[in-house]
Structures are given as C-alpha cells and as structure tokens.
Amino acid sequence: MSSWKRYIKDFTSYLKIEKGLAANSVLAYENDVKKLEDFARARNLETETITYTHLKEFVKELYDLGLSARSQARIISGVKQFFQYLLMDQEIDKDPSNLLEMPKIGRMLPEVLSIQEIDLLIDTIDLSSKEGHRNKAILETLYSCGLRVSELVHLKFEDIFFNEGFIRVIGKGNKQRLVPVSASVEKEIGIYSENIRNHQEIKPGNESYVFLNRRGAKLTRVMIFTIIKNLAAKAGIEKNISPHTFRHSFATHLLEGGANLRAIQEMLGHESITTTEIYTHLDQSFLKEVILSFHPRSNSN
C-alpha cells in the first residue's frame, strides 16, 4: 500500500473515531485529500516529499480548473487538516501546508427577518384552520430555539423538558445539545397538542414526534418549507426566506441583544466559532453603536 493510501485511510479513521465527525464530513475531507493525491501521483510525489512549493502549484491548478473561491478554500482546509494530522502522528517532521493561504471569499450573508416581520408572519396564520395552531407552534419553535429544519421535524416529546426549561436537540453527526425553551414555545406546543394532535389518528411509528401532518405522520422538510413560503406570500414579505431564515434571525437577534458569541455557538450547535462569527457581520450599525457607546477611545473630547 502506498503512503497516500495508508495515510488517507488512517486520516479518515482519525476523523471518524477520534474527532467524531459525521460520515458525510469524513467523506468530504477524504475527497479533498484525494484531489491532492491525484496531483501528487502525476508528479511521482509521496506525502513525505510534498513541499510548500508543490502545494502552491496544487492551489494554482484548482484556480485554473475554474473552481470558486469557496470550493478552493474547502479543499485547502481539508489538505491542511490532513497534514496537521500527519504532523501530530509524527509521520512527517514539518507541515508543508502551514503557510498556505486561503483564497479570499466574499462573505454571503444570510437573509434575516426583523422581529416585526416574524410577528407579522405568525399573526398571518389562520388559527381557525386545522393546521393553524400546529404552524404557529412550528414557527415559534424554529425562531425561539434556532433549530435546523431537520432538527425540528425529528423533535420528539421525550426531548422536551418544559419543567427544566430546555429541549434536547439531536444535531449534525448525532450530536446532542440543550437549548433553552421559551414560555411562548411551551404555550403553543401545549395548545397544538391538546386541541389538535391529541385528537388525531397517528400512524404507527410516529407516536413520539411532536409535529405531524393531517394523516398523522411526521412532517417533512419540504412541508415546512412550503408552510413558510405560503405564509410569507400571504404576509407580503418579499425576502427570499426558508426555515433556515428563522435560525439566522434567532442568532442575529441574540447577538443584537448582547448575547455572548460562544453561547450562541453552543445553542446553534456549531462545531467551529468561525461559523457563528458570520452573524457579527449582519448588523454593522448595531456593532458601530456598541463601539461608540463603550470603547474607551470612542469619545474624542
């Protein structure tokens, strides 16, 4: 077995077992490193003989292929992780990727709803319809807990601890986190359960799921997306929104209210703080106001 095959195999085992990454994340890293392997094999290079100059050539090749800056950055990140692992495992004496720079990426800021727009969406719900109270509970939960849509559709009653004031969320990679739950979420889930869900015929295997469709089965991601799109159109909101918009709004409003970035990271279930840091770019006027109010050099007098 060549050093490439052996090291990539060991690297993926490390990501899976020691770092506990999800299968799709491990596969993504593996594919990134295999791109470097293809480049190296064409030049008869083994992992131990790769230099910083070789890696710069590799990055130039990615650019010449027409890959976006974001795709280039993801591949380079995977390559860096690979060499950091080899250095840690003492397979190499020096990390050739240490000085490798990431391409500059234009930050794509997610769409965010104002508090007034969220209230408008919720007020648009027809509570006289059979799905009304369910839909209101869905929106309150998405916004108040910052859930991913997949986390919402898989939410079970056994994960709700209203007396203790939190819900247990099963996130990416089957990782669990605890998220504080608001009184509004408790109220709306209670109304929905008591008036609608408890009177439904529930399909076998779906008994523990909180949110059900009219046939008594677990809701799908597409159904949540459709509910939100229809409500946005009815409310006259022209922003391109999705279930994830409520998660972005949750994080942004917490930040604007003064919440610690690390706390937001924990509640969102982000593995890296850099993922959470995008929210610091969403409201520059708010950040400017904070600096002008509290920084010791802000007062020119």
Which residues are bridge partners to 170 per DSSP? 176
- pLDDT, residue 298, reads 47
CATH 1.10.3720.10 is held by the domain 3-88: no
Q: Note the pTM of the prediction, 2 decimals.
A: 0.58
State the pLDDT at residue 198: 92
Q: Which segments of the chain belong to CATH 1.10.443.10?
A: 115-289
Active site residue ranges? 148, 172, 244, 247, 270, 279
pLDDT for residue 206? 95
pLDDT of 258: 73
CATH 1.10.150.130 in the chain, residues? 3-88
Taking the CA of residue 86 as centre, how many other CA atoms within 13 Å lie in the half-sphere pointing to its CB?
A: 26
Query: What topology is assigned to 115-289 in CATH?
Result: hpI Integrase; Chain A (1.10.443)
Rounded Cα gap, residues 36 and 50, in angstroms: 10
The number of helix segments (H) and strand segments (E) in the chain equals 13, 3
Report d(CA 107, CA 130) in Å as an integer.
41
pLDDT, position 287: 47
DSSP string, 122-156: HHHS-TTSTTHHHHHHHHHHHHHHT--HHHHHT-B
Q: What's the rounded Cα separation, in Å, for the pair 131 and 295? A: 49
CA quadruple 257, 262, 264, 267: dihedral positive or negative? Answer: negative
Looking at residue 1, what is its pLDDT? 44
How many Cβ atoms are within 10 Å of 78's Cβ, its own excluded? 20
Q: For the chain (length 301 residues), average pLDDT per consecutive 10?
A: 83 89 88 90 89 91 75 88 91 89 66 90 93 95 91 94 89 82 92 93 95 94 92 92 88 77 78 64 52 52 47
Neighbours of 58 (CB within 10 A): 22
Q: Which two tokens stand for residue 255?
A: 């930040």
| Nearest alpha carbon to residue 157 among 171, 168, 173 | 168
The pLDDT value recorded for residue 61 is 84
* HSE, side-chain direction, 13 A CA sphere, residue 164: 8
Rounded Cα gap, residues 147 and 171, in angstroms: 9
17: which DSSP letter? I
Burial of 283 (0-12, 13-18, 19+ CB in 10 A): middle
